[in-house]
Amino acid sequence: MAPRPSTEKPLNLRFLSFLLLITFSPVYTNNCPRICVCSGSFSNVYCGDSNLTKVPNRIPERVVYLNLHANNISKLIKNQFANLPQLHTLQLSANTISEIDNNAFVGLDNLQIIELFYNNLLVVPSGALKSLINLKELWLGGNPIVCLDAYSFSYLPNLKLLDLGELRQLRGISNSAFAGLNSLVYLNMGVANLQTVPYLQHLTSLEELNLSGNVIRVLGRTSFQSMFRLRRLMIISSQVNEVEPLAFEDLQALSELDLSYNNLSTLPYNLFAATTSLGKVNLKYNPWNCSCDITWLVEWLRTKVRDRTCDACGECRYPKRLLGTSVFRLPIDIFRCPRRKISNYSIQLNVTEGEDASLPCVSGRETAISWITPNGTTIRHGNYEVRVKVFNDGSLNITRVTLHDAGVYRCIARNPGGSQSVITTLNVTTRAYITDIPVLEEPMEDDFDPSVCTLGLDEQNWPNVNLNTTNRWNLTYKPPTMPPSDTVAVDEDGDDYDPLGSKKFDHLSVIVSSIAGIVVLGLSVWGICFLCRRCNERKRFLQKKCKSRERTKKKHEDDSSCCCGKYCCCRHQMEKEPESVEMPPPDIYSIDIKVDIEKQANGTLKKSKASKVETQV
């Protein structure tokens, strides 16, 4: 009788598969490009100085700091970083990037710092930057940018730092180039081929400005207009030879001023009257003419400067008898300065309603001027209303005079000789057909020529950008660098890889991995022991079943096997020797009896063989 097939289900291997998945899944979810070095649980990825021609694939999604500095990347394509939502800092400096697609930075909602300095950009990538609404720092220095168009940075309302240093090919800047940067705190335009101070009146939150290394010969009265929060101003080695009166009138918060390495020989009288917070100045390496024109400066330095030696105050170059004398220690009593007075006089001015009026005042190189209107408002240069302005010559201009503008205006002029006033009486006559129309602010004049942006834009015409940063101007802010840490690189095959030649490990990661490995090993051992115990119990059960069948004395053939399952088998062999038939001695007296005995013996033998065959079957 054939045994019944086993109804036991085969062993389920899902548990073992799950263990394997737990063990090897970190290799696939936290992969690091082979050419890069990853650290900090894959939050820091360094791929710099690797001669890459494009951004590598399979960058970990959890990356926060990505460094691609000093490679040969020339273009950033669409959705280049779309899978890096946690990226905070992106360094792309010292590459050959000349083109950035408009959607190259899509998905970088948390990006706050991007470095693009020392590339081959000819224009500001405004289209690509519009998706970086949370950007805090933008570094574009060292690019062959030709011009700054209007609203170049208007898509970056949260920008705090803008680096435009070393734009040596810059030709023009629109008056609206910085419109929209209401949160900007720091601006660097050192060595930017500037010949005048650009229009910065949109930057009402600016606190630090660097204009060093340019050719700005004159600081005009409107150069720093409306910059009420500016605290630090650096104009080093810019060939400045003249500062107009009231140039610093709006810099009430200025605390540090550096005008060293210029061509200044004198400063207008009472230049720092409005800068009440100014306490640190650097005026050295200027050809100061120590005469009556700077006696006010000597007195101001002795009053405001905290350093009693004031090595940064400069030295006299003229006259020769005072050559090398410190301006701070200059003895004032050696000068016999005549007291130049401003005589008082009055002016009567008659205008018709709707016309423009210009009220003159005494002006000069050492004169500071302020106007007092009939309603008691004080107006200085750069601090004016919509229709009322103080021009460079000190005159007060009123656009489209109304009847309410009539009255007495007083101009107060100050110089080393004292302060006097000029009184002007404005008489306004009525025009019968005049219609009062609200006067809007005059449109801002913009001398920006857009044609400079289209001339000579062939990339081959530009010289190679010098990547040597040793001659860069000293900046307050520096690009963030990768913090030193123990690094472990994992290549695409899951193996450790360190291109720097020394293997360093993140101890925390090693400890966590070891604990995880021990847990997985313990679970595996427990699973194997559990399966072995179940198999042994099943085996003993089947052996008892086989013995029970033997006791029932069922017939089995020789070499029969009793299969009791997949993992154990009970074989029972029944070997029976054929019974020997004892032949009686033949009867020599009767042949018939002998024949009968042989037949009987043969029959017994056949039965024995038949039984044996049945047993084997």
- Whether 116 maps to a domain, the answer reads no
Contact 246, 221 (CB under 8 A): yes
Longest dimension (CA), the chain: 189
- pLDDT tens-place string over residues 267-321: 998 899 889 999 899 999 999 999 988 989 999 999 888 776 688 899 999 999 9
- Whether 168 maps to a domain, the answer reads no
Q: Which two tokens stand for residue 557?
A: 């053939």
- Whether 605 maps to a domain, the answer reads yes
Q: Out of 48-57, 202-211, 406-415, 464-473, pick the least confident.
A: 464-473
- Whether 602 maps to a domain, the answer reads yes
Give the domain-ending residue among 412, 429, 446. 429
- Continuous H helices in 255-356: 295-304
Q: Out of 75-89, 126-140, 229-243, 348-362, pick the least confident.
A: 348-362
- Whether 380 maps to a domain, the answer reads yes
Instruction: Tell me what percent of the residues of the chain surpass a pLDDT of 90.
Output: 40
pLDDT surpassing 60 at residue 440: no
Give the domain-ending residue among 404, 429, 454. 429
The domain of 349 spans 345-429
Q: What are the Cα distances from residue 485, in Å, to 37, 38, 39, 44, 113?
A: 11, 10, 7, 10, 21
| pLDDT value for 51 | 93
Axis crossing angle, helix 507-551 with helix 14-29, rounded to the nearest 10? 170
pLDDT mean over 516-540: 87
Contact partners, residue 5, CB within 8 Å, separation at least 6: none
| pLDDT value for 476 | 41
Q: Out of 116-130, 261-275, 321-335, 337-351, pick the least confident.
A: 337-351
Give the span between the Cα atoms of 375 and 384, in whole angstroms: 14
Q: What CATH code is carried by the domain that includes residue 418? A: 2.60.40.10
- Whether 589 maps to a domain, the answer reads yes
| Per-residue confidence band for 141, with pLDDT thresholds at 50, 70 and 90 | very high
Q: What are the Cα distances from residue 594, in Å, to 375, 583, 591, 598, 604?
A: 166, 11, 5, 6, 16
| Per-residue confidence band for 555, with pLDDT thresholds at 50, 70 and 90 | low
pLDDT mean over 241-259: 92
| pLDDT value for 300 | 92
- Whether 479 maps to a domain, the answer reads no
| pLDDT value for 416 | 58
Higher-scoring residue by pLDDT: 404, 148: 148
pLDDT mean over 59-66: 94
Contact 400, 439 (CB under 8 A): yes
| pLDDT value for 596 | 54
- Report the amino acid identity of residue 433: Y
Higher-scoring residue by pLDDT: 49, 559: 49
* Residue showing tokens 């020392």: 118
pLDDT surpassing 90 at residue 457: no
| pLDDT value for 148 | 95
Please tell me the total count of domains within the chain: 2
Q: How far apart are the first and last CA of the chain?
A: 9
Q: Which two tokens stand for residue 268?
A: 């207008």
pTM over 0.75: no
Give the domain-ending residue among 429, 449, 466. 429
pLDDT surpassing 90 at residue 378: no
The SS3 of residue 280 is strand
| pLDDT value for 41 | 87
- Whether 147 maps to a domain, the answer reads no
Compute the chain's Rg from CA coordinates. 48
Average pLDDT of the chain, as a whole number:
77
DSSP single-letter state for residue 416: T
pLDDT surpassing 90 at residue 8: no
The SS3 of residue 326 is strand
